[in-house]
């Protein structure tokens, strides 16, 4: 084993690799426009720094790029739409080219949205690109967040950027809601109607908040212009500002990388910004934009002309928000009505308030503080630039999946009516089942995920110690059959053995020197409990001596085949062996 490393240190360059700061000497002096600019801005220094900036490569790093590019597409098409959209709730009579609505009284906002869809050439395409890009923006933000969470990329020094991203994702949802409410069609108007109900559910100040937000009684004429200024000015300004900070921090911290041969916590291995990442990332903007345009060309989204103008009296079956608000809508469908009560004549709408006004801030706060909780439990003050494989952080991965399962239950609940219709089920049964699942699914998902992670870790161990299964069966002279395992190369093996494996913290003595419970000791006890929760079930990575022992076992194996697969377990770590055995017991 040791011979492998003698040839080349971990982060040494191979023949043909270049050191980041060593680049082709300039053959041409800076002149022309570039020279004129540099005389005034001195940008050449920055250019050489930026051009050699290294980005590691992995498909999952693309998810954040999709979010970034779809946001840019939204900004671009949104600017177009403002040229024709009229953010006004004034009532007008429609006389545009869409025949079924001619002569109908509607708001100017709805009339102008119909105009964009039917009378502005290419307007429908721009509207559809805007809506599709918004949907893709929010989904890519969420998936990007999941990637960052499950790979532990939020760890020091990136906690601030995780918080920025958390705020960005919340803003993205609110921005989307404000946007799809603007056309003032029957569906979005019903959404605003429900929003008014949410606001009114706030204890003490709810009614006043409703009158403040709507500028008087619901719906009034103020909400459309107010949502408009929030949608095109306030929220985008914060979004773009935070997004810029988000990207700058990625530059500052340098991107994380997945573990691999030659990749360490102190380097970043990848391709330079110029030309490879300019071409790949720049090209990817065109791919994202192009795909959104292709979808918008052939798939209708939000056909507002089919819904009609907003009127509080009519309604359509299957009224649902855009997908990213689905989980909140689902929470409202699951909360049972009996939670509402009155004290001294005041109404506590606990059947609405927790699912509407509390859910979003609460959920995003939990997401935002997670890195600090985990850092406190591990007590890890080091910087982390190498990503975790999700299996190597079983408890974190399980927490994440448990959270996602909760989210999915709420999300499914938002479609309980459609499920009932399409699947011919009772809506009451579906709702009751989901109510139970909301509490049952997370712990079950947690347990299953953690077991899968531990099993995958054990599979990694086995692969390291006994090699890869080749599928070749040998028949020995004595009639025995054996599958041949091919040993892993050091490069293949490294990804499976490189990770750190925490051990649960020991319970410290709970008393101070005088035998009194000290607050510090209490805090430490709590930390030990958490540490135990996180790291109790532990499969340590294989070590060179275990590999050595496994080779011995293999030799012994040939003599005594009854040995079975007990040899997977490390010979020395008896404590760990017990854990694994306990895991294997049924139930």
List the interface residues with another protein, window 246-265 (CB under 8 A): 252-254, 261-265
Judged by CB under 8 A, the residue of 82, 102, 229, 503 near another protein is 503
DSSP tag of 185? B
Residue 487 is a binding residue for another protein (CB under 8 A): no
Please give the torsion angle defined by the CA atoms of residues 23, 245, 61 and 66, in that order, rounded to the nearest 10 degrees.
-120
Q: How far is CA 293 from CA 62, 122, 132, 279, 302, in A?
A: 19, 12, 9, 21, 15
462: contact with another protein by CB under 8 A: no
Beta bridge partners of 343: 346
Taking the complex as a whole, the smallest distance from the CB of residue 556 to another protein amounts, in Å, to 21
Contact between 14 and another protein by CB under 8 A: the answer reads yes
Please report whether residue 3 would count as binding another protein according to CB under 8 A.
Answer: no
48 touching another protein, by CB under 8 A: no
Site residues for another protein, 105-124, by CB under 8 A, read: 118-119, 121-122, 124
Tell me whether residue 488 or residue 567 sits nearer to another protein (CB atom).
488
Of positions 283, 303, 361, 443, contacts another protein by CB under 8 A = 283
Query: According to CB under 8 A, which residues from 150 to 169 bind another protein?
Result: 157
Q: Considering only residues 515 through 534, tell me which ones interact with another protein, judged by CB under 8 A.
A: 531
Q: Residue 346 — φ and ψ, nearest 5°?
A: -95, 140
Calculate the CA dihedral of residues 411, 416, 418, 424 and round it to 10 degrees: 140
Q: Is 428 in the site for another protein (CB under 8 A)?
A: yes
Shortest Cβ 292–another protein spacing (Å): 8
58 binds another protein (CB under 8 A): no
Does 443 sit near another protein (CB under 8 A)? Answer: no
Choosing from 70, 210, 302, 457, the residue that interacts with another protein (CB under 8 A) is: 210
313/514 with CB nearer another protein: 313
Provide the minimum distance between the beta carbon of 373 and another protein in the complex, in angstroms, as a whole number: 15
What is the per-residue DSSP string for 378-426? HT--S---BPPPGGGSHHHHHHHHHHHHHHHHHHHHTTHHHHHHHHT--
What is the smallest separation between the CB atom of 524 and another protein, expressed in angstroms? Answer: 10
Q: How far is CA 381 from the centre of its chain?
A: 24
List 35, 100, 544, 563, residue binding another protein (CB under 8 A): 544
361 binds another protein (CB under 8 A): no
Distance CA 156, CA 379 (A): 11
By CB under 8 A, is residue 383 in contact with another protein? yes
H or E element in which residue 372 lies: helix 359-378
The smaller minimum CB distance to another protein, of residues 6 and 478, is found at 6
Closest by CA position to 72, among listed 285, 214, 324: 285
Where does this chain touch another protein (CB under 8 A) — which range of 42-50, 51-59, 144-152, 578-586?
51-59
What is the DSSP secondary-structure string of 509-530? Answer: PSB-TTS-B-HHHHHHHHHHHH
Determine if 194 is a binding residue for another protein (CB under 8 A).
Answer: yes
Which residues within the stretch 59-98 sit at the binding site for another protein (CB under 8 A)? 89, 91, 97
Residue number with CB closer to another protein (81 or 332): 332
- The set of residues, in sequence order, having a beta carbon less than 8 Å from that of 364 and lying 6+ positions away, is 166, 167, 169, 170
Please choose, out of 162-170, 232-240, 499-507, 577-585, the segment that lies near another protein by the rule CB under 8 A.
499-507
CA torsion, ordered 22, 27, 33, 34, to nearest 10 deg: 10
State in angstroms the smallest separation of the CB of 586 from another protein. 30
- Residue 223 near residue 214 (C-beta atoms within 8 A): yes
- Two tokens at 556? 């012994």
Output the smallest distance, CB 487 to another protein, in A: 13
580: phi > 0 → left, psi -120 to 50 → alpha, else beta; which? alpha
Residues 298-317 that bind another protein (CB under 8 A): 298, 310-317
Candidate residues 130, 147, 389, 493; the one interacting with another protein per rule CB under 8 A: 493
418 touches another protein (CB under 8 A)? no
DSSP state of 343: E
Query: Counting contacts by CB under 8 A, is residue 190 touching another protein?
Result: yes
HSE at residue 158, side-chain half, CA atoms within 13 A, is 26
Separation CA 258–CA 385 (nearest Å): 9
Residue 103 makes contact with another protein by CB under 8 A: no
Selection from 181, 163, 268, 284 nearest residue 223 by Cα: 181
User: Closest approach of Cβ 379 to another protein, in Å?
Assistant: 4
Decide: helix, strand or coil at residue 240: helix
The neighbour count for residue 242, using CB atoms within 10 Å, is 16
One of 231, 302, 494, 553 touching another protein (CB under 8 A): 494
Task: By CB under 8 A, tell whether 291 contacts another protein.
Answer: yes
Cβ atoms of residues 115 and 107 within 8 Å: no
Residue of 427, 441, 452, 521 interacting with another protein (CB under 8 A) = 427
Q: Does 419 sit near another protein (CB under 8 A)?
A: no
CB 395, min distance to another protein, A: 12
Least distance to another protein from the beta carbon of 498, Å? 7
Nearest to 534 by CA among 426, 405, 379: 379
If the CB atoms of residues 172 and 496 are measured against another protein, the closer one turns out to be: 496
Nearest to 464 by CA among 486, 484, 446: 486
Q: Of these, 72, 146, 213, 521, which contacts another protein (CB under 8 A)?
A: 213
CA dihedral 65, 71, 75, 80 (to 10 degrees): 100
Residue from the set 102, 244, 470, 545 that interacts with another protein by CB under 8 A: 545
């Amino acid at each position: 084993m040791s011979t492998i490393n003698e040839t080349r240190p971990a982060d040494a360059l191979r023949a043909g690799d270049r050191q980041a700061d060593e680049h082709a000497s300039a053959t041409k002096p800076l002149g022309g426009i570039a020279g004129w600019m540099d005389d005034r801005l001195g940008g050449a220094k920055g250019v050489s720094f930026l051009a050699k900036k290294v980005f590691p490569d992995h498909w999952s790093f693309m998810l954040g790029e999709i979010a970034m590019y779809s946001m840019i597409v939204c900004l671009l098409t949104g600017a177009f739409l403002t040229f024709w959209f009229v953010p006004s709730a004034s009532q007008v009579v429609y006389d545009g080219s869409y025949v079924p609505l001619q002569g109908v009284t509607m708001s100017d906002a709805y009339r102008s949205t119909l105009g964009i869809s039917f009378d502005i050439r290419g307007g429908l395409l721009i509207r559809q690109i805007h809506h599709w890009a918004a949907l893709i923006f929010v989904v890519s933000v969420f998936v990007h967040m999941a990637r960052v969470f499950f790979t532990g990329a939020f760890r020091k020094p990136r906690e601030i950027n995780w918080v920025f991203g958390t705020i960005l994702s919340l803003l993205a949802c609110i921005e989307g809601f404000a946007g799809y409410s603007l056309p003032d069609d029957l569906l979005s108007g019903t959404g605003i109607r429900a929003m008014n109900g949410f606001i009114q559910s706030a204890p003490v100040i709810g009614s006043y908040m409703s009158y403040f937000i709507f500028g008087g009684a619901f719906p009034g004429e103020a909400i459309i212009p107010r949502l408009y200024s929030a949608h095109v000015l306030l929220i985008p300004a914060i979004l773009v500002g935070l997004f810029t900070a988000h990207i700058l921090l990625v530059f500052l911290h340098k991107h994380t990388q997945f573990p691999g041969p030659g990749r360490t916590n102190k380097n970043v291995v990848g391709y330079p910004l110029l030309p490879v990442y300019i071409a790949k990332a720049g090209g990817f903007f065109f791919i994202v934009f192009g795909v959104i345009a292709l979808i918008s060309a052939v798939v209708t989204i939000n056909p507002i002309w089919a819904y009609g103008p907003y009127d509080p009296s009519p309604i359509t079956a299957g009224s649902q928000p855009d997908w990213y608000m689905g989980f909140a809508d689902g929470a409202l469908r699951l909360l049972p009505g009996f939670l509402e009560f009155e004290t001294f004549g005041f109404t506590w709408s606990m059947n609405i308030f927790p699912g509407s006004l509390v859910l979003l801030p609460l959920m995003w706060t939990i997401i935002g503080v997670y890195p600090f909780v985990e850092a406190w439990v591990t007590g890890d003050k080091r910087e982390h630039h190498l990503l975790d494989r999700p299996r190597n952080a079983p408890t974190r991965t399980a927490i994440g999946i448990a959270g996602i399962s909760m989210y999915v239950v709420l999300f499914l609940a938002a479609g309980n009516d459609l499920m009932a219709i399409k699947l011919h089920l009772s809506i009451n049964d579906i709702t009751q089942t989901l109510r139970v699942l909301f509490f049952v699914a997370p712990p079950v998902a947690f347990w299953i995920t953690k077991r899968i992670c531990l099993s995958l870790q054990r599979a990694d161990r086995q692969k390291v110690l006994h090699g890869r299964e080749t599928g070749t069966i040998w028949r020995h002279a004595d009639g025995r059959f054996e599958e041949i395992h091919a040993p892993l190369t050091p490069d293949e093996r490294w990804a499976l053995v490189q990770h750190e494996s925490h051990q649960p913290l020991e319970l410290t003595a709970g008393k101070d020197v005088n035998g009194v419970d000290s607050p510090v000791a209490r805090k430490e006890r709590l930390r030990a409990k958490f540490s135990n929760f996180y790291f109790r079930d532990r499969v340590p990575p294989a070590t060179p001596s275990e590999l050595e022992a496994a080779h011995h076992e293999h030799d012994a194996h040939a003599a005594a085949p009854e040995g079975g697969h007990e040899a997977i377990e490390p010979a020395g770590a008896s404590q760990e062996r017990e854990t694994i055995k306990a895991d294997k017991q049924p139930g």
